[in-house]
Amino acid sequence: MSNFSLIETLRWEPGIGFTRLRLHLARLDRSARRIGFPTPLQAKDRLEEAVAGATTSLRVRLTLDAAGRIDVTSAAFTPPAPDTIWKLRIASQRLDSADKLLRIKTTRREVYEAARAEYPASEADEVLMLNENDEICEGTITSVFLDDGSDLLRTPPISCGLLAGVLRTELICQRKARVGRISLADIAGGKLYMGNSLRGLIPSVLA
């Protein structure tokens, strides 16, 4: 039996509902099939039950374990202010591009937690993670996007060793982002954004 669960973290807004719900459910179903977990048939219903009667923005977290059990929790969520700029630092902890579980969102987060712990919150809003080839992969809770002056944002390929983020998928499908490897040298010549489905895109700078 696997000692981890799949996770989806969603944003819910009054009058709008869940942001990118279809993409979250599709990723959950795809991930479950890929690693042999039961199909999460009740996921949507469980999510709707969790927000019944809610009147403020929520962060909703769903987990699915190897036995097919679904657990949903919610908490108040304050979206980032429009003028938010994140300060980034680079982790010494490296991702292994050969680890295919990095492509799936799970509770197995030790490598991300170790990277985040390298810097106090006062020194970094997010920590940028590289793989064994020093290619930029992702943040500890976000996908990476680079505005390199072309018409599309650039985001690293999954093969570098990173999560197939829901916001990342949406931007690629909308032809607002393209897949391309990113080096530290590339960042110097462009504008960097970190983002996920919960928070959206956040302008970011290396500290």
- State the helix-helix crossing angle for 21-35 and 43-51, rounded to 10 degrees: 140
Q: What is the pLDDT of residue 189?
A: 84
56: its two tokens: 């403020």
State how far the Cα of 172 lies from the Cα of 179, in Å rounded to an integer: 8
Hey, where are the domains in the chain? 6-76, 86-206
Cα 124 off chain centre by:
17
CATH code, 6-76: 3.30.470.10
β-bridge mates for residue 76, sequence order: 58
Q: Are 115 and 140 in contact (CB under 8 A)?
A: yes
Neighbours of 31 (CB within 10 A): 21
15: its two tokens: 């009058």
Contacts of 2 (CB under 8 A, 6+ apart): 35, 37, 65, 66
Above 60 in pLDDT, residue 196? yes
Q: What is the pLDDT of residue 2?
A: 72
Q: Are 58 and 79 in contact (CB under 8 A)?
A: no
State how far the Cα of 175 lies from the Cα of 180, in Å rounded to an integer: 13
Say what the pTM is: 0.95
| Each residue's pLDDT tens digit, 100-141 | 999 999 999 999 999 999 999 999 999 999 999 999 999 999
Above 70 in pLDDT, residue 168? yes
124: its two tokens: 């970094």
Q: What is the pLDDT of residue 92?
A: 97
Q: Which CATH superfamily is domain 86-206 in?
A: D-amino Acid Aminotransferase, subunit A, domain 2 (3.20.10.10)
pLDDT over 90 percentage in the chain: 97
Q: What is the mean pLDDT of the chain?
A: 96
